[in-house]
Amino acid sequence: MDVPLLVTIVILTALAFDFTNGFHDTANAMATSIATGALRPRAAVAMSSVLNLAGAFLSVEVAKTISGGIVDDTKITPTVVFAGLVGAIIWNLFTWLAGLPSSSSHALFGGLIGATLAASGTSAVHPAKIMEKVLVPALASPLIAGLIAVLATCLTYRLTRSADGKVRSAGFRAGQIVSAGLVSLAHGTNDAQKTMGVITLTLITTGALPASAGPPIWVVVSAGAAIALGTYLGGWRITYTLGRGLTTIEEQQGFTAQISAATVILTSSHLGFALSTTHVCSGSILGAGLGRRSADVRWVVAGRMLLAWVMTLPAAAVIGALTSEIATTGTIGVVIVVLAGAGVAGGAYLVSRSKPVTADNVVNGVPEAAESSETFEVAA
Interval 32-64: pLDDT, tens: 788 778 888 888 888 888 888 888 777 666 666
Across the chain, where does the E strand assignment appear?
356-357, 377-378
Instruction: Report the amino acid identity of residue 207.
Output: G
Q: Report, as an integer, the average pLDDT of 259-274.
A: 79
CA angle at residue 220 from 217 to 224, to 5 degrees? 145
Please, what's the largest Cα pairwise distance for the chain?
70
Instruction: Report the amino acid identity of residue 330.
Output: G
Domains of the chain by residue range: 3-378
Determine which of 75-84, 137-146, 150-159, 354-363 has the lowest per-residue pLDDT on average: 354-363
The answer to whether 169 touches 33, Cβ cutoff 8 Å, is no
Q: Report, as an integer, the average pLDDT of 201-225.
A: 85
The answer to whether 176 touches 254, Cβ cutoff 8 Å, is yes
Going by pLDDT thresholds of 50, 70 and 90, the confidence category of residue 367 is very low
Q: How far apart are CA 155 and CA 148, in angstroms?
A: 11
Give the three-class secondary structure for 22. helix
pLDDT at 339 exceeding the cut of 80: yes
Q: What is the pLDDT of residue 374?
A: 38
Q: Report, as an integer, the average pLDDT of 282-308.
A: 81
Q: Report, as an integer, the average pLDDT of 294-308.
A: 78
More confident residue, 212 or 76: 76
DSSP codes of every residue in 53-85: HHHTTT--HHHHHHHHTSB-TTS--HHHHHHHH
- 216-248 confidence digits (pLDDT tens): 889 889 988 998 888 887 677 777 777 666 677
Neighbours of 346 (CB within 10 A): 10
pLDDT at 1 exceeding the cut of 70: no
Whole-number percent of the chain with pLDDT over 90? 21
Q: Report, as an integer, the average pLDDT of 254-271.
A: 83
Q: What is the pLDDT of residue 230?
A: 85
Neighbours of 270 (CB within 10 A): 13
Q: What is the pLDDT of residue 65?
A: 61
- 307-331 confidence digits (pLDDT tens): 888 899 999 999 999 999 999 999 9
The answer to whether 285 touches 148, Cβ cutoff 8 Å, is no
pLDDT at 105 exceeding the cut of 90: no
- 155-189 confidence digits (pLDDT tens): 988 888 877 777 777 888 888 888 888 888 877 77
Give the three-class secondary structure for 121. coil
Q: Report, as an integer, the average pLDDT of 200-221.
A: 84
Q: What is the pLDDT of residue 380?
A: 34
Residue 295 CB burial class (10 angstroms; 0-12, 13-18, ≥19): middle
User: Hey, which of 12-16, 43-47, 371-375 has the most confident mean pLDDT?
Assistant: 12-16
Among 204, 194, 208, 221, residue whose Cα is nearest residue 66: 194
Q: How far apart are CA 112 and CA 316, in angstroms?
A: 8
Going by pLDDT thresholds of 50, 70 and 90, the confidence category of residue 91 is very high
Q: Report, as an integer, the average pLDDT of 135-162.
A: 88
Strands 356-357 and 377-378: parallel
Q: Which distant-in-sequence residues (6+ apart) come within 8 Å of 72 by Cβ?
A: 116, 120, 123, 124, 125, 126
Going by pLDDT thresholds of 50, 70 and 90, the confidence category of residue 274 is low
Q: Which distant-in-sequence residues (6+ apart) come within 8 Å of 277 by Cβ?
A: 25, 28, 105, 183, 186, 187, 190, 191, 261, 265
pTM for the model? 0.81
Q: What is the pLDDT of residue 255?
A: 87
Residue 372 CB burial class (10 angstroms; 0-12, 13-18, ≥19): exposed
More confident residue, 367 or 309: 309
pLDDT at 207 exceeding the cut of 60: yes
Determine which of 56-65, 80-89, 117-126, 232-241 has the lowest per-residue pLDDT on average: 56-65
